[in-house]
Amino acid sequence: MEAQTVNTLPPVAVDHDPVRCLLAIELSKKSWIVAITTALSDKISRYTLDGCDWKGLLELMERIRTRVAREVGRPVEMISCYEAGYDGFWLHRLLERHGVRSHVIDPASVQVDRRARRAKTDHIDAKRLLRSLMAYLRGEPKVWSVLRVPSVAEEDDRRLHRERDRLIAERGQHVNRIKGLCAIHGIYDYEPMRRDRMLRLEQLHTGDGRELPPRLKAEIARELQRLELILEMLKEIEAERDAIALTEKVSAHTNTKTIQNLVKLKAIGAEIATVLTGEVFYRPFNNRHQVASYVGLTPSPFQSGSKCRDQGISKAGNPKARSTMIELAWLWLRHQPDSPLSIWFQERVGTRKGRIRRITIVAVARKLLIALWRYLETGVVPTGAVLN
C-alpha cells in the first residue's frame, strides 16, 4: 500500500480575502486618540483628532483603507473598538453604517497593570485597547467583555422608567429641603406631599408662634412650585407606563407584549414589568447562567491554595435590574405564598430574621429571574404561580 501524504501546511490565503486593519479609539471631550495597525507594518500608528470629530475619523479610516488596498491589492476590512462611557453608542452605530465592524467594550473588563503606580495616559490606553483587540480577534474571548448594543428604539424605551427614577429622587430632595427649612424654625408637622400644601403654608407659624420670615416663606413657596411640577411630570410618565402595560392598544414601545405578559403574573406591577423589560428582557440570552450573570446575581467564589470562601454575589451586572429583582422577590413571597419558590424560602428561613433572610432572598431573586426568562421565552408559567 502506498503511504498517503497529509498536507500540514496552512491553507494559502485567497487573493480576494479581506485584509484586516485594526483601530482603537480613546474618546474624550477634548480629543480622540486613534491607535491603528495595518498589514503593511507591525508598528502601531497614533493619530489625534478633535473631540467628536467623526468626519475626520471617517476620512482617516478611508485614507488608510485606500492606501492598504492599493499596496496589497486586496479588499480591506476595518475593525474598531472603544470603551463604553459618556459618548454612549452613537459612534458605534455610525461606524457600522459606514461598513466598519465595531466593538463597544465594558471598561471594567479590560485588564490593567496591577502595580500601585502605573503610567496612565490616553495614548497608552489606546495602545492597550488595540492590543486587547488583537488578542480578541486571535480567539481569546475572555480578554474583555463586548457589550450588546441596543437599537435606538430599545434604548429609547428605557427613558420612561429611568426618567421616573430621577424625578422620584428629585422629589425627595425638594421634600427634605422644605422640611429642613421648617425644622430650623420649630415646625415639624408640615407635610409638603399633602394636596393642601399651599394653603397650609399660609397658616404656618414658627415654633414660638411668630409669623414666618418673608424670605423663608418665599423660598418654601418656590420649592413647592418645583415639587408640583415634578409631581405633574410623574403623573404624566406613570399614565404612559400604565397605558403600555395595562391596555391592549398598540403603542410605540417595542416590547409591549413582554411587559403585558409579565403583568399577567400576580405580584408584578406595571413599574417592575417595565424596568425588567427595559433593562433585561429586551435582549436574548443563550442560557440561565447568562441571565443571572447579566444582573449580577451569580456567586463569586474565592479559592487560593488552602483558602476557600464564598464572596457572595458578583454585583457585576445591571444594578437597577438587580435591585428590582430583590424587590420583586419580597413581593413574590407576599403575593405568591403557595408557590414552590415561596415554600422553598420558608423551609430554609422559617421565623429567623436578619442576615440569613437577606442572603436567602438573593437566591430567590436569582431563581425567580430565571423562571421569568423561561416564561417569556417558552410561555410556560412558573410552577405554582397565580395569574392576575
Is residue 115 assigned to a domain?
yes
CATH of the domain at 61: 3.30.420
- Whether 280 and 241 map to the same domain: the answer is no
Whether the CB-CB separation of 155 and 89 falls below 8 Å is answered with yes
Is residue 4 assigned to a domain?
no
**Burial class, 82, CB count within 10 angstroms (exposed 0-12 / middle 13-18 / buried 19+):** buried
- Whether 74 and 135 map to the same domain: the answer is yes
- Whether 267 and 204 map to the same domain: the answer is no
- Whether 64 and 86 map to the same domain: the answer is yes
Cα 45 to its chain centre, rounded Å, is: 33
- Whether 54 and 127 map to the same domain: the answer is yes
- Whether 189 and 226 map to the same domain: the answer is yes
Task: Identify the DSSP state of 383.
Answer: T
Whole-number pLDDT of residue 313: 83
Give Cα separations from 185 to 197, 225, 243, 299 (angstroms).
Answer: 18, 21, 44, 51
Is residue 139 assigned to a domain?
yes
- Whether 176 and 198 map to the same domain: the answer is yes
Mean pLDDT, the chain cut into blocks of 10 residues (388 residues total): 43 68 94 93 92 94 94 92 93 95 92 80 91 93 91 91 96 96 93 93 90 94 96 96 80 80 94 94 92 90 84 86 96 94 92 89 95 94 89
Whole-number pLDDT of residue 4: 45
- Whether 348 and 371 map to the same domain: the answer is yes
Is residue 384 assigned to a domain?
no
- Whether 27 and 143 map to the same domain: the answer is yes
Is residue 8 assigned to a domain?
no
Find the domain containing 350 and state its range: 256-302+312-378
- Whether 178 and 231 map to the same domain: the answer is yes
Whether the CB-CB separation of 276 and 159 falls below 8 Å is answered with no
- Whether 40 and 113 map to the same domain: the answer is yes
* Domain final position from 246, 264, 281: 246
β partners of residue 304: 307
What is the pTM (predicted TM-score) of this model? 0.84
Is residue 358 assigned to a domain?
yes
Dist CA 268 CA 260 (whole Å):
10
Dist CA 241 CA 160 (whole Å):
7
* Domain final position from 126, 149, 172: 149
Describe the chain by its helix, strand, coil percentages, rounded to 5: 50, 15, 35
Strand order in the sheet with 31-38: 41-50, 31-38, 19-27, 76-83, 101-105
Domain count, the chain: 3
283: its cell numbers = 435582549
* Domain final position from 246, 267, 286: 246
- Whether 166 and 143 map to the same domain: the answer is no
Whole-number pLDDT of residue 214: 93
Length of the chain in terms of residues written: 388
